[in-house]
Amino acid sequence: MGDNPMDIFKDDMENEELYLKVNAMHRVRVIATLLGTDKIKSVLLPYFETLMKKEDDEVLFAMAEELGYIAQIIPQQSICLLPILEQLAGFDETVVREQAVKSIIIVCGFLGDNEISNTIVPLILKLASNEANFTCRVSAVSLMCPMYARAGNQKEKLRQKFTELCSEETPMVRRAVATKIGEIAQYMDKNHVIEVLITVLKQLCQDEQDQVRLLCMESIMNIANILNINENKTNILPLIISSAEDKSWRVRLALSKIFAELAEAVGKEIADSSLIQIFSNLLKDPESDVRVVAVKSLAKFIKFVSPEKLNLIIPLLQLLAKDAFAQVKQMACLVIGQIATILPRDNSQSKLQSYLIELMSDDNQDVRKNAAQSVGVFAAALGSDSLGQFIPHLKKCMEDPKWRVRKEIIQTVIQLALTIKNSEVFIKQLEPVYVMFLKDRAAEVRTIGLSRLNDLIQTYKIDWALGSFLSKCLETLNKDTGFLYRMNALYAIQQIGLVADGPTITDKLWPIVQKCMKDVVPNIRFVSIKVAKTLSKKIDHQGTLNQIKQAINEMTDDNDRDVKFYAQEALQY
């Protein structure tokens, strides 16, 4: 094997293992740097020509990618890479073709507008006119979009060829046009968009292939962003109506996915006057997948519709809340919460509240979970005086067999408490639900309850924490047999200790922890050590500090090795 980098590369490419050849190809940028411009042209590129005739697609993909890097090594001479990239752009394998197009675009970044007009546009037109290989025409479509703005006096030819490809017999080419028509519209003058592209788009929206019609949806939205209200009403609205009534559920699904963005693009006036009725039909679609996606879009769509028009949506939400398909109900839960923040309070309470409460008892756990999440938004929108109607259902959900539902409930209750900031309402209605986390079976639920305790103390002050909440902790410590729940109560006392002052800790918290340090359960004893150590940092009374130190010191001789470890650790720091 010679020392010449090209010889080494050739030897590597003779290897039988495919992954070794791919790795070698990915090192070719280093070889190109060593070879220099002249040898790249005279040695490397001719060798690439031979490889294209025999190598696997993986190697050719790597070659197409590396040619883009080589273009950056020889920017002033990168035009010499185009013949090979043009061939790669016509290959059957999609990834090879697409990577070749990307590398051609990199090369074009180093070319002037004259070179684009005189070299690249003819290359695109040549690819687009290749009757023998439809893949060349697909690549041509992908190149037309980024190159159109720099095509100069050749723009007319590109527009004409783009329009011709819309009527192409090969579905793959029509799909490419349907995908790119919205992109190329961004570079065209508006009059050309209306006169040329809208005509093409209308034709593609009536295509016999549902995949072509489906791909038009994104382009409809992109073009709608360019046009004004009247132009959208004339040109885009008919396409939306026809797509919403399309015989293929996949097309209706694609429209449902982007419906909110489409409403934003066409403006509130059209959304109010026309889109809301079209969207209502999608929400009632016989295909469950369409309804699921439509309800997801509804959460965004309601932001672009006037509040008075949303009354048309309420009967549909009521219908969706009783849908046979669980995923539809899941999304309907979230929308009910969001729409309550926009609608007048009376409308939400009289027309949606009973449905949300019913969803909290649904058979599907994900529906119950989303309903619990929505209750927080819904109740906050109605105000604190509406909470009483939800409390029994929140309590019931805190006994749900699925911990994820209970987790959502505890988060909802905490968020409501922090939003409402009314001590009387909190203590009377929300606190009884919140304290249920102390005895929850799931560690995740207990952890969330503890993690937000400090926020609640900040909102409802230390008097609440030392009063009714501390009494619940004591009840758990004294009456409950489950050591996990008692540990949780101790950690809650630790949280209170972070906020309470020294004398309060000495009088109220330390005696509780001191008693727990003599508990029969080792886990309770070592958690008590941790809590005592935390409390000691806030205590100034020397006598109490001595008591804590003495109690911990006695536990260094504990029978349990974990207790002994934590006691020794506490005395060290």
Amino acid, single-letter form, for residue 423: S
Could you tell me if residue 516 is inside a domain?
yes
CA-closest candidate to residue 469, choices 500, 498, 491, 496:
496
- CA atoms 380, 383, 388, 390: torsion sign: negative
Phi, psi of 228 (to 5 degrees): -85, 180
Three-class secondary structure of residue 266 per DSSP: helix
Could you tell me if residue 490 is inside a domain?
yes
Could you tell me if residue 568 is inside a domain?
yes
Tell me the residue range of the domain where 563 lies: 461-572
Could you tell me if residue 507 is inside a domain?
yes
Q: What pLDDT score was predicted for residue 573?
A: 67
Q: List, run by run, the mean pLDDT of 10-residue segments along the chain (573 residues).
A: 76 87 92 90 92 89 94 92 94 93 95 92 94 92 92 90 90 93 91 91 93 93 90 92 94 94 87 88 94 92 84 88 93 91 80 91 95 92 86 93 96 94 92 94 95 94 93 90 92 94 93 94 94 92 92 92 92 80
Could you tell me if residue 506 is inside a domain?
yes
DSSP percent split of the chain into helix, strand, coil, nearest 5:
80, 0, 20
Q: How many domains is the chain partitioned into structurally?
A: 1
Here the tokens at position 196 are 């040329």
Amino acid, single-letter form, for residue 159: R
Instruction: Say if CB 285 and CB 292 are below 8 A apart.
Output: no
Q: What pLDDT score was predicted for residue 310?
A: 83
Tokens 């560690």 locate to 443
CA-closest candidate to residue 486, choices 496, 497, 500, 475:
475
Rounded to whole angstroms, the Cα distance separating 278 from 238 reads 11
Three-class secondary structure of residue 305 per DSSP: coil
Tokens 């999440």 locate to 373
- pTM above the 0.75 mark? yes
Q: What pLDDT score was predicted for residue 3?
A: 61
Q: What pLDDT score was predicted for residue 109?
A: 93
Could you tell me if residue 113 is inside a domain?
no
CA-closest candidate to residue 363, choices 337, 395, 325:
325
Instruction: Say if CB 16 and CB 7 are below 8 A apart.
Output: no
Could you tell me if residue 205 is inside a domain?
no
Could you tell me if residue 553 is inside a domain?
yes
CATH number of the CATH domain containing 538: 1.25.10.10
Q: CB atoms < 10 A from the CB of 273, how many?
A: 12
